[in-house]
Structure 1
Amino acid sequence: MAENKMEEFSTEEAVKEAVENAEEMKEEAATAENSEEAAEAKDSEKESKKVFKKKEKKKDKRDEQIEQLNDRVMRQMAEFENFRRRTEVEKSQMFATGAKSIVEKILPVVDNFERGLATVEEGADPFADGMLMIYKQLLTTLDEAGVKPIEAVGQEFNPDFHNAVMHVEDEEVGENIVVEEFQKGYMYNDTVVRHSMVKVAN
């Protein structure tokens, strides 16, 4: 009986030990398998990183080229826009300067018309009437071109528009008032072509 019990006990222990060994071997195999899978995963991750880095490097070069080209195009567009604006300003200035010089040359003709017509009564001579019509047409044309006379008599003296050549004391007139105009002044648009030559009171 004792021997049978001993045999049963040793058999149970052997089975138990065999089961434990089998479980340990399973765990070891699973660990080894997991470590292999992890190693494979790491390797594949490294490879994918390398490929991605290569792609990134290629993309970076292209992006740099695109940025450089965009920058160059933007600079050229800005330069062209500046050139266009500068050219427009220069053109308008040249036109204004040319127009002003022509107006300056025409004004003495207007002055001579006024001097000549001041000595003739209207309606007395058909020739004088013809000259008066030409004078009025000339003034209309100048007005349409932007040339306008500067108001002087009765206005307060303004050195921007008037050139005082005489001074008089007059109690009937206010201080610094233009009482007489010797030569009419003209403006072309917003610039003075010729100052009015005037006499100022007080």
Structure 2
Amino acid sequence: MAENKEKMEEFSTEEAVKEAMENAEAMAEEAEAEVTEASEENTSEESSKEEKDGKKPFKKKEKKKDKRDEQIEQLTDRVTRQMAEFENFRRRTEQEKAQMFGNGAKAIIEKVLPVVDNFERGLATVEEGADPFSDGMLMIYKQLLTTLEEAGVKPIEAVGKEFNPDFHNAVMHVEDEEVGENIVVEEFQKGYMYNDSVVRHSMVKVAN
């Protein structure tokens, strides 16, 4: 009986110790939760107070960029700028070359046109098929016109068209009721265009 009594006392003591430890752990967890909650409340109160006072909440400083990254960015920017400048230079050079070529072509055409005029004056005095020499000159004249046309040179239409100062140069006026107002009735010298620009204006007579 005495042994059973001792065992029962020992068992009850172990249970009491275990229960006390569990209670202590629970109290410690509750205390820790209360401390955490209080800390969060204090932090939120301080943040709201700083916002009311016009102060910005504390932020961590951003990490500075590496010097190598900065150098890479600078070099990339420099290369991009140089590529843009080179592209602008290339376009400007191409435009200047095209303009120079056009001016040179117009200068040559202006020197060739008097030759065409002389061919036309000479051929106007002979009939087609009159003799082999005249036929040969006519063939050369037609070949010359074909070559000029392939190069972009075309004559300006004048007779029967309305006078246009952009293409025609009026050197004489005449009153004629049979034609309309401001109409070209005669062409003294042919005008020519190279592509979209006038090389030589047509010299014409305008009615009314």
Q: TM-score, normalised by structure 1?
A: 0.72
Distance 1:177 1:60 in 2: 79
Question: What corresponds to 2:96 in structure 1?
Answer: 90
Distance, in Å, in 1 between the alignment partners of 2:131 and 2:157 is: 30
Shift of 1:63: 2.6
Which letter maps to 1:176? N
Q: CA RMSD in A?
A: 2.8
What residue is the counterpart of 2:199 in the other structure?
Answer: 193
State the alpha-carbon separation in 1 of the partners of residues 178 and 161 from structure 2. Answer: 14
Partner of 1:152, secondary structure, is coil
User: Whole-Å Cα distance in 2 between the matches of residues 195 and 84 of structure 1?
Assistant: 34
In the TM superposition, 1:81-120 aligns within 5 A as: 81-120=87-126
For residues 159-193 of structure 1, what are the alpha-carbon distances to aligned partners after superposition, in whole Å with 9 as ceiling and x for unaligned? 00000000000000000000000000000000000
Q: Structure 1: which 4+ aligned runs deviate by more than 4 Å?
A: none
Mapping of 1:116-135 within 5 angstroms?
Answer: 116-135=122-141
Deviation at 1:61, TM superposition (A): 2.3
Give the letter aligned to residue 196 of structure 1: S
Aligned counterparts of 2:206 and 2:72: Cα–Cα separation in 1: 71
Name the structure 2 match of 1:162. Answer: 168
Matches of 2:72 and 2:129, distance apart in 1: 81
Q: Counterparts in 2 of 1:7-156, with a 5 A limit?
A: 56-57=63-64, 59-156=65-162
Note the C-alpha offset of 1:53. Answer: 7.6
Structure 1, unpaired ranges of 5+: 1-18, 32-51
> Using the alignment, how far apart are the partners of 1:173 and 1:61 within structure 2?
84
Return the alpha-carbon distance in structure 2 between the equivalents of residues 179 and 60 of structure 1: 82
Among 155, 179, 183, the residue aligned to 2:185: 179
Structure 2 CA distance, aligned partners of 1:115 and 1:64? 77
Q: Which deviates more, 164-173 or 63-72?
A: 63-72
